[in-house]
Chain A
Amino acid sequence: MKRILAFLLCVCALWGLGVTASAEEGVTINVYNWGEYIANGTDDSMDVNAEFTRRTGIGVNYTTFDSNESLYSKLAGGGADYDIIIPSDYMVSKLINEGRLAPLNFDNIPNYEYIDEQFRDPNYDPGSVYSVPYTWGVVGMFYNKQYVEEPDSWEALWDDEYAGKILMFDNPRDAFAIALFRLGMDVNTTNPDDWDEAAQLLKGQKPLVQAYVMDQIFDKMESGEAWLAPYYAGDAAILVENSDDIGFVVPKEGTNFFVDAMCIPATSQHKAEAEAYINFLCDPEVAGANMDYVGYSTPETAAREYLSPEVAESPIFYPDEETLRNTQIFVNLPQEVSSLVDKLWAEVKMGGPGESAVLVAIILGFLAVYVAIIVYKRRKRKKEME
């Protein structure tokens, strides 16, 4: 009995420890960011969170997510109390529309002055009220120079010659954007016909596509298993750096320009501290050190001085103005359009209703075989009994 009591006490004490430890250290802000999206002190980089705590005394509880949608479900589900989140453009506009973000007090973010003019007043956050850009980039096409001649158009992804060697995005928004660019349409179109047309294009492309993937493109491109793949420039630039065979182009039809931006949820209890964190990340020196590790592009020209010249002048990270003028940024789609897109995407990936009939046939076939085996066994047993 005593032992059980002692044990239970231990458990309670441990439990209590977890709760009180964070309370005693003063203010701790909860930061929710993409995975692998901040310099963490390995490879001689700056440990950004530790540096922030050292300078301000504010603790950072840093956690990570894998997609805008999982960030949204965490935020909408309740039960999680974040002070800083870093969603992408269209998710920012969705969160603003739903009133889930707090307007920022720019008096606490003096370093906002370093943000370049072109990133202010974006269409996902008119007037820059709720968000401060963290990183940006464009989507481009990676190709293997040994097998593919430098493509200049998204049409290369529909070229029979490369059948089975083409990779595609495994998320509806990015995949449809490529089809829409090829058709010369607006990526934020609310006309269902446009989306239908894009879906037709993607369905036609499906037989040529080796796989719908996200991070696997690194392995597949590197090993030569695939020759052509669209991806985010910042993530995949490492491919070009490390292999002479792999090239990068931004197709002439234009491309998606994306921004991940720092926001404060409306539920935050430590808004001033969160603004201090945003301000800290906007410090050109910190932003430079951070981007040096993360490998994305910084929205601050001043921060580029802290990057190595190869990166600061690379057309992958910092495309020229002409390319940038030809880009479009995602904004949130109305509910009915986004469910249409989800439905069309499911059709593209799984095939239309025709293919589900095949699936049903296969399952019925299995059932028939199963029943046959049972019947056969029963008969056999009966015979043996006789």
Chain B
Amino acid sequence: MKKTGGRIYTFLVFLFLYAPILVLIVFSFNDTETASRTVWSGFSLKWYEKLFEDRLILEALRNTLLIAVIAAAASTVLGTVAAIGINSMKRLPQRIMMNITNFPMVNPEIVTGVSLMLLFVFAVGLFGGRSLGMGSLITAHITFCLPYVILSVLPKLRQMDPNLYEAAQDLGCPPVQAFFKVVLPEILPGVVTGMIMAFTLSIDDFVISYFTSGTTQTLPIYIYSMTRKRVSPEINALSTVLFAVVMALLIVINVRQSRAQKAAKEDA
């Protein structure tokens, strides 16, 4: 009895979480003249066709992906380096650093967005630039992705035997080589998780991008600007594609993690 109750509860929670996405996906295949989002009138792929003809959406998508890739890569490198530094600190500075790191995560996004915009406008003015754009967007995205990377790399560093690195050096490894040959493989799962998290966060972001975008347009901003008229089902089609991509990414992370755990068990 208890078990069925629990199952029903779980089912309801998942229904609540996924029903909107399901509706969105179903209506991306809706064959309607009026771009209706509530009345079903047959199956068609026409919104997908339109989507790939629409230059503005594709350009926004290209910007979004470019920013996400660069921001994820850069914040992963910076975050990993920072995590190693924080890990080797003494207790008090470590706690201070962690608080500083966590602060942007609990800070409301809109505050981060506005303050970054003010900073960028000031900086751009200082260097004689005219407009915010790709550069400021990427910098902003690196900023808010960084804490997540640090947080996913740190636990892996703590798990690692600190003597390993010294042992490698004892055996004649120069420090840099010791990092790449010994430390990096140990913490790689954390690094990869952090990178994927940074990537998805960057793709999603609306608030911070909105303030720091200048004359560049990302996908979330483009979608939001459709709301005076109606959000076209092309967006359903695009969201379906993106959902599939993010889903695939998450599955990859999970499979990796469970494999790593299995391997760890076998080693032990």
Q: A15-B135, A40-B55, A42-B54 are in contact. Are A215 and B74 (CB under 8 A)?
A: no
CB pair A219–B37 under 8 Å, yes or no, is yes
Interface positions, chain A 1-35, Cβ under 8 Å from B, are 1, 3-4, 7-8, 11, 14-15, 18-19, 30, 32, 34-35
Distance between A261 CB and nearest chain B CB, rounded to angstroms: 16
CB pair A50–B34 under 8 Å, yes or no, is no
Asked whether A47 is an interface residue with its Cβ less than 8 Å from the other chain, the reply is: yes
Distance between B72 CB and nearest chain A CB, rounded to angstroms: 11
Interface positions, chain B 69-109, Cβ under 8 Å from A, are 70, 73-74, 77
Distance between A237 CB and nearest chain B CB, rounded to angstroms: 11
Q: Which size class do A's interface residues fall under? A: 35 or more
CB pair B38–A223 under 8 Å, yes or no, is yes
Given contacts A36-B226, A64-B217, 19 further A-B contacts (CB under 8 A): A4-B77, A40-B56, A41-B55, A42-B53, A61-B215, A63-B221, A64-B225, A65-B225, A66-B225, A79-B121, A79-B124, A80-B132, A80-B214, A81-B131, A81-B214, A215-B227, A215-B228, A218-B230, A223-B38
Distance between B193 CB and nearest chain A CB, rounded to angstroms: 19
CB pair A42–B228 under 8 Å, yes or no, is no
Asked whether B200 is an interface residue with its Cβ less than 8 Å from the other chain, the reply is: no
Q: A42-B54, A215-B231, A235-B229 are in contact. Are A63 and B70 (CB under 8 A)?
A: no
CB pair A11–B73 under 8 Å, yes or no, is yes
CB pair B226–A238 under 8 Å, yes or no, is no
Q: Bound complex: CA of A47 vs CA of B59, how far in Å?
A: 14
Q: Bound complex: CA of A223 vs CA of B41, how far in Å?
A: 12
CB pair A35–B225 under 8 Å, yes or no, is yes
Distance between B110 CB and nearest chain A CB, rounded to angstroms: 12
Q: A40-B55, A77-B117, A269-B130 are in contact. Are A222 and B226 (CB under 8 A)?
A: no
Contacts of B121 in A (CB 8 A): 77-79
Total inter-chain residue pairs, C-beta < 8 Å: 132
Q: Show 14 A/B contacts (Cβ-Cβ < 8 Å), sorted by A.
A: A3-B180, A11-B73, A14-B66, A18-B66, A30-B131, A35-B229, A61-B215, A66-B224, A66-B225, A79-B132, A79-B214, A215-B229, A215-B230, A269-B130
B contacts with A, residue count (CB < 8 A): 50
Q: Bound complex: CA of A348 vs CA of B268, how far in Å?
A: 66
- Please encode chain B, from 227 to 240, with 1 for each CB lying within 8 Å of some chain A CB and 0 for all others: 11111100000000
Interface, chain A (partner B; CB < 8 A): 1, 3-4, 7-8, 11, 14-15, 18-19, 30, 32, 34-37, 40-43, 47, 49-50, 61-67, 77-82, 214-215, 218-219, 222-223, 235, 238-239, 242-243, 269
CB pair A79–B131 under 8 Å, yes or no, is yes
Distance between A152 CB and nearest chain B CB, rounded to angstroms: 27
Which residue, of A35, A40, A219, A269, has the highest number of chain B Cβ atoms within 10 A?
Answer: A35
Q: Bound complex: CA of A81 vs CA of B125, how far in Å?
A: 12
Q: Bound complex: CA of A37 vs CA of B225, how far in Å?
A: 10
Contacts of B136 in A (CB 8 A): 79
Asked whether B50 is an interface residue with its Cβ less than 8 Å from the other chain, the reply is: yes
Q: Bound complex: CA of A174 vs CA of B134, how far in Å?
A: 36
Interface positions, chain B 108-152, Cβ under 8 Å from A, are 117, 120-121, 124-125, 130-136, 138
CB pair B70–A43 under 8 Å, yes or no, is no
Distance between A90 CB and nearest chain B CB, rounded to angstroms: 15
Distance between B148 CB and nearest chain A CB, rounded to angstroms: 19
Contacts of A50 in B (CB 8 A): 55
Asked whether B263 is an interface residue with its Cβ less than 8 Å from the other chain, the reply is: no
Q: Bound complex: CA of A47 vs CA of B53, how far in Å?
A: 11
Q: Bound complex: CA of A64 vs CA of B130, how far in Å?
A: 19
Distance between A96 CB and nearest chain B CB, rounded to angstroms: 22
Contacts of A238 in B (CB 8 A): 34-35
